[in-house]
Structure 1
Amino acid sequence: MSYVIRSAKPSDLQSIYEMAKLTGGGFTNLPPDRKALRAKLDRAEASFASDREYPSDELYLMMLEDTETGEVRGTCQIFGQVGQRWPFYSYRIGTDSKHSEQLGRTFHAQVLMLSNDLNGSSEVGGLFLHPAARAGGLGLLLARSRYLFIARHRARFGDRILAELRGVIDEAGGSPFWDGVAGKFFGMSFQEADQFNAVHGNQFIADLMPKHPVYIAMLPETARSVIGVPHPTGRAAMRMLENEGFAFENYIDIFDGGPTMTARTDQVSSIRDAQHVEVTRVADGLDDGADALIATGRLADFRCCFGKVGEGGSIDAATARLLQIDTGDTISWIGR
């Protein structure tokens, strides 16, 4: 396989813009807006060049490239720490209990509470795979490469990590959750709010969103039925997150109601189980080697691909070419 994950470059603007147009809306981290995408690429370039060895407001943007054709076929993102530039808002599903002595009954009502609980967490997101490349495990390569990047730069990330999954979007590109909840307070459609958030951030939520709890029972059924439900195209991503140790802990996206998955960073499987070794041998064939995801390089030089790893730090020659490494270089790997 000729695919490799690499850091994004300014010249990737057209490729990432073409992918953004295919997302179908509700994909805040990948808006089909050239100016916003250019700003993301500039921010990523500065983040890769930063010498900060602690969690901060960095964006690491990576691309999936077919090295045989030079085509970009996917992208993913990692945020060093959310909630620094502007507050990171979620709805937390809670319970409001009331008891009546006269009736002899206790009532439990589910409520949505605007929350900043996840401020300071790191985030993985922005994963998109071109429809023409949705085979051969490339989605898994994109997703898990982010954890190997974190493992190789652990000091730059927080102790908690989150992933927001896109919620249910209707055929017209609207959000039943937005229409039933936040849309009533903002005077704009879901598409307008989502686009504004992607370009300007969500401070406008703090300015306009009511701070009191929203009782779920008072919402229309169209909104209630999609709370915490991922978009159909995100179900596989949710399973991958669960396999890594992420869990749904009653946080949802304030725009579309999609689930926010969280985990302790050091307990994410692909971070916890990553092995870090020096390459001792590059072999033409490793028939007895383990199928693996293999990463190397720091920051802008980071690269990751599928390959084979043998005993004592040996790797196959095809992998060495994709990663542009030789004996004496260090790799981080996890079993495929």
Structure 2
Amino acid sequence: MSVSEDLWRVRAARADDLPAILALARLTGGGFTNLPPDEAALGRRLDWSLASFGRDQDVPHNELYLLVLEQVATGRIAGTAMLFSRVGSEWPFYSYKIGTLKQTSRELGRNFSIQFLSLTSDYDGASEVGGLFLHPDCRSGGLGRLLARARYLFIARHRARFGRRMIAELRGVMDEAGNSPFWDALGRQFFGLSFPEADEFNAVNGNQFIADLMPKHPIYTALLPEAARAAIGQPHVKGRAALAMLEAEGFRFDNYVDIFDGGPTVCADIDALKGVREAQETVLTGLADSAGEDAAPRLIASGQLAEFQAFVAPLNLEGDRLPASIAAPLGLSVGTRITHAPC
């Protein structure tokens, strides 16, 4: 049976995916801490993911689950997505919390509201979605949505492996050379590194150096240049669509920003996320030559852990039937247990 080139799936990453993942990492343009263009660092992440998929304890500890977007007919890898079961387990997960201090001067007869940033680890213990990157040639036809939303079906099928809260960090404002106005105004003063240098160091070595050198006292944003202030809480121009998808899923901005580039961190209760809340389980009862009039496109997942895969296909909800032309190449048959949700 020939396989349509329109059939794509999101699946668990395998050891032999490293060259393709590295090629994608080299296209990011910087600022993607979870996807550094460094073969050794990516190799360590892939090993971490393989060990996480193989872990037999269904409790969140410190797992990374790396997923890839694959064209089934050709085996082409065109995207990545990640889930972290519990951040802050090895070293604190740092964020800046935006706060406001109100002061009154009776002599001047004026009230002042002063914005400041405080270094916090409030999100320690939360789960995280991240590492979402799609090849520029594939940013149409719903592939980005498939890649992003497949993560929530993975959570639904492995709910005990994740915590109560889920966060997502978005890349912040940068110029064409990969420099961050927020970092240049703040972090660079304490670390003596450019943003690309600090970002690469963090991606390869972790962010413990932040705890070692970052000032512990609040930072008044009025002391920062205008470009840095304007960047606080704003996503990179190429991340606006990702932010919109996260908000549609149920994530909300709660005044936490990334310590490197000032990009927004959004948070949600995992069980309230649309893709988790609307997920349904069923068993395939039959395959058909065609979708049928009653079939509707659904986001569908099958398999556990390293065998996980997700795809979009018309599913006949009355009889829980899939077209054979889709089921067969994906190794699905009558009796396969699937999880599905609206696209």
- TM-score, normalised to structure 1's length? 0.98
Letter in 2 for 1:297: G
- 1:148 and 1:243 map into 2 onto residues whose CA distance is 16
Q: What is the one-letter code of the residue matched to 1:163?
A: A
Q: 1:325 aligns with which of 310, 332, 335?
A: 332
Provide Cα deviations, 1:187-228, integer angstroms capped at 9, x if missing partner: 111111100100111000000000111111110011011111
Alignment partner of 1:299 is 2:298: no
Q: For residue 319 of structure 2, give the secondary structure of its aligned residue in structure 1.
A: helix
1:160 aligns with 2:165: yes
> Which residue number corresponds to residue 132 of structure 1?
137
Structure 1 runs, 4 residues or longer, greater than 6 Å off = none
Code of the aligned partner of 1:317: A
Cα distance in 2 between the residues matched to 1:167 and 1:318 = 42
- The number of equivalent residue pairs is 336
Q: Once the 2 structures are TM-superposed, how far is the Cα of residue 25 of structure 1 from its aligned partner? A: 0.4
Q: CA deviation at 1:335?
A: 1.3
Question: In structure 2, how many angstroms separate the alpha carbons of the residues matched to 1:284 and 1:294?
Answer: 18
Q: Give the equivalent residue in structure 2 for 1:234.
A: 239
| Pick aligned residue for 2:99 from 83, 90, 94 | 94
Q: Distance in 1 between matches of 2:190 and 2:324?
A: 58
Q: How does 1:1-336 map to 2 (within 5 A)?
A: 1-287=6-292, 288-310=294-316, 311-336=318-343
The code of the aligned residue for 1:329 comes to T
CA–CA distance in structure 2, aligned partners of residues 271 and 20 of structure 1: 28
RMSD over aligned CA atoms reads 1.0
How far 1:101 moved relative to its partner? 3.4
Judging changes above 3 Å, is the alpha-carbon distance between structure 1 residues 101 and 322 closer, same or farther for their aligned structure 2 residues? farther
Is the contact between residue 7 and residue 303 of structure 1 (CA under 8 Å) also seen in structure 2?
yes
Q: C-alpha separation between the residues in 2 aligned to 1:240 and 1:321?
A: 31
Tell whether the 8 Å contact from 1:4 to 1:322 is kept in structure 2 after alignment: no
Distance 1:321 1:27 in 2: 36
Provide the secondary structure at the position in 2 that maps to 1:217.
helix
Shift, 1:45, TM fit: 0.4
SS at match of 2:231: coil
Do the aligned residues in 2 keep the contact of 1:4 with 1:65 (CA within 8 Å)?
yes
Contact 1:308 1:319 in 2 (8 A): no
- How far apart, in 1, do the equivalents of 2:104 and 2:217 lie? 21
AA aligned to 1:113 is: S
2:150 & 2:137 partners in 1: Cα distance? 20
> Secondary structure of the residue that 1:235 maps to in structure 2?
helix
